[in-house]
Chain A
Amino acid sequence: MYSLLYEGIGVQNWTYILVGITFSIYIGIAIWSRASSTKEFYVAGGGVSPLANGMATAADWMSAASFISMAGIISFAGYDGAVYLMGWTGGYVLLALLLAPYLRKFGKFTVPDFIGDRYYSNTARFVAVVCALLVSFTYVAGQMRGVGLVFSRFLEVDINTGVIIGMIIVLFYAVLGGMKGITYTQVAQYCVLIFAFMVPAIFISIQMTGNPIPQLGFGGELVDEPGIYLLDKLDGLSTDLGFAEYTEGSKSLIDVFAITLALMVGTAGLPHVIVRFFTVKLVKDARKSAGIALLLIAVLYTTAPAVAVFARTNMIETVSNQPYNSVPDWFKKWEATGLIEYFDKNNDGLIQYVADEKNNELIVDNDIMVLANPEIAKLPDWVIALVAAGALAAALSTAAGLLLVISASVSHDLIKKMINPNITEKGELLAARLSAIVAVCVAGYFGINPPGFVAATVALAFGLAAASFFPAIILGIFYKKMNKEGAITGMIIGVLLMLFYMTKFKFGWFGGGTKDDWWFGISPEGFGSIAMILNFIVSLSIMKLTKEPPKSVQEIVENIRIPINAGKATH
């Protein structure tokens, strides 16, 4: 036994063990926290503590994209990666200061609930439902893809089998437990994913810089070459190979500005994030849990840029100008998945990794940097397996949160509020469970047959949230004279403009166009900011031309600004 452990039981067995343990925990929690009413299903009964809600929000928020892709994207983008770091954290300031406390006070189950009631209109509700479904479906497909990727690489099963296993697990606890089950599994998933992200980062930080805190380590000096800062070394390596200096980046100022803003505002407008603040007891709990959530998110988000620098430096040093015949094991394994590609263009048997596309012989997918990083740094097998379990936790927790938004939009906003208001509590709960099942199947389908535009649609999701929900909610809270005519027109025009711009520049519709044709030099990823501004302008102008909202609605607005008597979330 000792020798078995000493020799190592292999990455694959470690992965089976860790994934098995974590999955059993999730299922156990799901059985313990079954939902028995719609209130438990939609908002976990409305009595979640701020700490638990903060942890759940953090896990909900940090998706496969944050865990798997982000550090990889940063490691190729350098300074420009800051758009994701600031964009996906700065949104929480907006949430805590401008949205969460008031939406909690309003005390409903969903975002379309707020829009529909505040703008006293089922048309507004319907527009909000469509936006919520659009945003959530595009997002969830990406999560399922992440699950499949991890299974196929680490357990060497078929990517489709991986997606199906993931579907069954999510189905089990989302359908059974609703928001209550999801909340407590997300608490567990936060612990798993943050541990899995930090352990290799700390190991590598010590290895390269001697500092156990990655956030400080990547600004430190190299262990191997005392007196030389890691970042200076990476800047040098990058320019030697023809890339831009790592700490400078290459996007234009206005585009960096626009993307950061769009991601911040989009974050604050995402229904699966907002809905988490309906689950706490008091208004002040909503504020506090937004702070806790961001603190817990910041642990990963401040580590990711360090991981990016470590991984980038390690990768360049491991492969650049090395003979292909002697590449390490991980290189071959990732090559088998098609995520690393090598073409020996000049037939010298060496790997030329350079910025110039004509001579570059190596293509490395963004998504593998975090997963491959522990292997590149030659960390122990259990650490590599831990990363796989963490990536699964990240993908599953986000997928579950999104599925809940989808099922609540259908069963509560469409069926209960619009189609059949007389539906019984039991009937609505059943409808919620059935729509969750359908949603999982649709998500799984997209996970197995990913539309070629997954990456494009994730940016679209943020753009759409920024262009639709954010202005409608902000105006709904801070401007009591805002009426339904203005809000509905604003949402529709904002979303249509966003869709137009995305499809034009991402899919080549409406005559297509290249980078040179971008309006104001702003990329489709950043265009959500423009669409949002237009939404504000349209909403305010139309409002001036139409009649003001009824007195009763204006009183509701005054009421949500006062934090007392929040009550429990009700229909």
Chain B
Amino acid sequence: MTKSNAKSYWKENIRYVLILMFFWFLVSFGAGILFKDFLNEFKIGGFKLGFWFAQQGSIYVFVILIFIYVYLMNNLDKKYGYDV
């Protein structure tokens, strides 16, 4: 549990956070808002795709993102011996 150990743990953590935040932004502000009109030209069932992302899809992805983070961080904790 040295200082450099803590530093590289933090660096890897930040990398995970940035990647996941990118997807967080992509599904909500991207698919649900900025590209909504474009996506609305496609349909799944009775849903226009942009509308679906805004009112359904983004929420499902949010839940998945958090559980991916939980999984990644639990492994990272183990790797660095922080899972006591």
The answer to whether B28 and A231 have CB atoms under 8 Å apart is no
Measured between beta carbons, the chain B residues less than 8 angstroms from A261 are 29
Tell me whether A473 is interfacial, beta carbon within 8 Å.
no
Tell me whether A15 is interfacial, beta carbon within 8 Å.
no
Interface code A189-230, partner B: CB below 8 Å = 1, 0 otherwise?
000000000000000000000000001101111000000011
B43 CB, min distance to chain A CBs, angstroms? 9
Q: Which of A251-293 contact B (CB under 8 A)?
A: 253, 256-257, 260-261, 264, 284, 287-288, 290-291
B82 CB, min distance to chain A CBs, angstroms? 5
A85 to B69 Cα, complex, angstroms: 22
The answer to whether B55 and A294 have CB atoms under 8 Å apart is no
Measured between beta carbons, the chain B residues less than 8 angstroms from A98 are 17
Q: Out of B9, B20, B55, which one reaches A97, CB within 8 Å?
A: B20
Q: Out of A86, A219, A253, which one reaches B28, CB within 8 Å?
A: A86
Measured between beta carbons, the chain B residues less than 8 angstroms from A564 are 1, 82, 84
Measured between beta carbons, the chain B residues less than 8 angstroms from A221 are 46
B18 CB, min distance to chain A CBs, angstroms? 10
The answer to whether B66 and A92 have CB atoms under 8 Å apart is yes
Tell me whether B42 is interfacial, beta carbon within 8 Å.
no
Q: Out of B24, B51, B70, B82, which one reaches A288, CB within 8 Å?
A: B70
A230 to B47 Cα, complex, angstroms: 9
A89 to B78 Cα, complex, angstroms: 29
Measured between beta carbons, the chain A residues less than 8 angstroms from B51 are 79, 82, 231, 247
Measured between beta carbons, the chain B residues less than 8 angstroms from A229 are 45-46
A260 to B29 Cα, complex, angstroms: 8
Measured between beta carbons, the chain A residues less than 8 angstroms from B83 are 284
Give the residue among A81, A101, A288 with the most B Cβ atoms within 10 A. A288
Q: Out of B6, B33, B36, B66, which one reaches A294, CB within 8 Å?
A: B66
A291 to B46 Cα, complex, angstroms: 29
Chief secondary structure at chain B's binding surface: helix
Stretch of A297-305, A329-337, A387-395 on the interface side: A297-305
Give the interface size bracket for B toward A.
35 or more
Measured between beta carbons, the chain A residues less than 8 angstroms from B60 are 298, 302
The answer to whether A291 and B63 have CB atoms under 8 Å apart is yes
A254 CB, min distance to chain B CBs, angstroms? 10
Q: Out of A215, A247, A295, A561, which one reaches B40, CB within 8 Å?
A: A247
Interface size on A, residues (CB 8 A): 48
Tell me whether A8 is interfacial, beta carbon within 8 Å.
no
B21 CB, min distance to chain A CBs, angstroms? 7
Q: Which of A544-559 contact B (CB under 8 A)?
A: 558
Closest residue of chain A to B5 (Cβ to Cβ) is A562
Measured between beta carbons, the chain B residues less than 8 angstroms from A86 are 28, 32, 54, 58-59
The answer to whether B33 and A256 have CB atoms under 8 Å apart is yes
B48 CB, min distance to chain A CBs, angstroms? 5
B28 CB, min distance to chain A CBs, angstroms? 5
Tell me whether A93 is interfacial, beta carbon within 8 Å.
yes
Closest residue of chain A to B58 (Cβ to Cβ) is A86
Measured between beta carbons, the chain B residues less than 8 angstroms from A97 are 17, 20-21, 66, 69
The answer to whether A257 and B29 have CB atoms under 8 Å apart is yes
Q: Which of B44-84 contact A (CB under 8 A)?
A: 44-48, 51-52, 54-56, 58-60, 62-63, 65-67, 69-70, 73-74, 77, 82-84
The answer to whether A85 and B59 have CB atoms under 8 Å apart is yes
Closest residue of chain A to B18 (Cβ to Cβ) is A97
Tell me whether A236 is interfacial, beta carbon within 8 Å.
no
A291 to B64 Cα, complex, angstroms: 8
Tell me whether A47 is interfacial, beta carbon within 8 Å.
no
Measured between beta carbons, the chain A residues less than 8 angstroms from B32 are 82, 86, 260
The answer to whether B6 and A561 have CB atoms under 8 Å apart is yes
Take A97-B17, A97-B21, A563-B77 as given contacts and tell me if A89 and B59 are in contact as well, using a CB distance cutoff of 8 Å. Answer: yes
B61 CB, min distance to chain A CBs, angstroms? 9
Measured between beta carbons, the chain B residues less than 8 angstroms from A558 are 6
List B residues at the A interface (Cβ < 8 Å). 1, 6, 9-10, 13, 17, 20-21, 24, 28-29, 32-34, 36, 40, 44-48, 51-52, 54-56, 58-60, 62-63, 65-67, 69-70, 73-74, 77, 82-84
Cβ-closest 9 pairs across A and B: A229-B46, A82-B54, A291-B66, A219-B47, A305-B55, A219-B46, A219-B45, A247-B51, A96-B66
Known pairs A247-B48, A298-B62 / 4 extra A-B pairs, C-beta < 8 Å: A85-B59, A93-B66, A216-B45, A229-B45
